[in-house]
Chain A
């Protein structure tokens, strides 16, 4: 019963390096989301994908790109990492079947430090 799986769990990067955060869900959900959480703050939406083949910007998209690889997987890419992107990144998914008020389900996060 995996739910939403994020890899890696921890990562340290140098400024200017690139990396991709991976997210996969096994609940057959249509919608997927990427959030970031800075210390002592609530989550902020970076990008989301309402369905396979679509992506849209959230509240804080600058410096990030996303790919909805298939229905299960939604990746987040940092092309040139900056110290301001040091944060905990959470992926979530949501089913959008017959009940339109389905909640989002979250992974355990990727803790990213950029030096």
Chain B
């Protein structure tokens, strides 16, 4: 799996959009970008994933650059319950493991 690089931490204001960047400059053509989050030591929660097109679901949007070397997870209206560690992972679709790095610790403030 390609290595990903994320900021260690970031704050955002409640009700505002949270934009979480991720670099994956060595990503290969068959690797997807997955985003998970972990709230207070619970099990990781799947958020969204994509290959090259932008994706949106009920939780978030994923913007992948055209060269696929970086991506941004967007939480459109952050709430206090979105405070968590967010992990960006590049993994082959048929791969059998996810490599979790340190993630970004997001603190949503009132």
CB neighbours (8 Å) of A58 from chain B are 97
A103 touches which one: B41, B49, B97 (CB < 8 A)?
Answer: B49
Is B43 a contact of A104 with CB atoms below 8 Å?
A: no
Q: Which of B18-26, B59-67, B72-80, B98-106 contacts A (4 or more CB under 8 A)?
A: B98-106
Is A33 a contact of B97 with CB atoms below 8 Å?
A: yes
CB closest chain-A residue, reference B35: A103
Number of A-B contacts (CB under 8 A): 53
Given A42-B102, A101-B51, A103-B34, does the pair A90, B44 have CB atoms closer than 8 Å? Answer: yes
Chain A: interface residue total (CB-CB under 8 A):
27
Given A42-B87, A101-B51, A104-B46, does the pair A109, B97 have CB atoms closer than 8 Å? Answer: no
10 CB contacts below 8 A, A to B, read A42-B100, A88-B41, A92-B44, A103-B34, A103-B49, A105-B46, A106-B43, A108-B42, A108-B43, A109-B42
B9 interfacial by beta-carbon distance below 8 Å: no
Chain B: interface residue total (CB-CB under 8 A):
22
Given A56-B96, A101-B51, A103-B49, does the pair A43, B44 have CB atoms closer than 8 Å? Answer: yes
CB closest chain-A residue, reference B100: A42
Q: Most chain-B CB neighbours within 10 Å: which of A56, A103, A105, A106?
A: A103
Give the interface of A toward B (CB within 8 A): 4, 31, 33, 35, 41-45, 48, 50, 56, 58-59, 88, 90, 92, 96, 100-101, 103-109
Given A42-B101, A101-B32, does the pair A50, B96 have CB atoms closer than 8 Å? Answer: yes
Is A48 a contact of B96 with CB atoms below 8 Å?
A: yes
CB neighbours (8 Å) of A33 from chain B are 96-97
Is A107 a contact of B43 with CB atoms below 8 Å?
A: yes
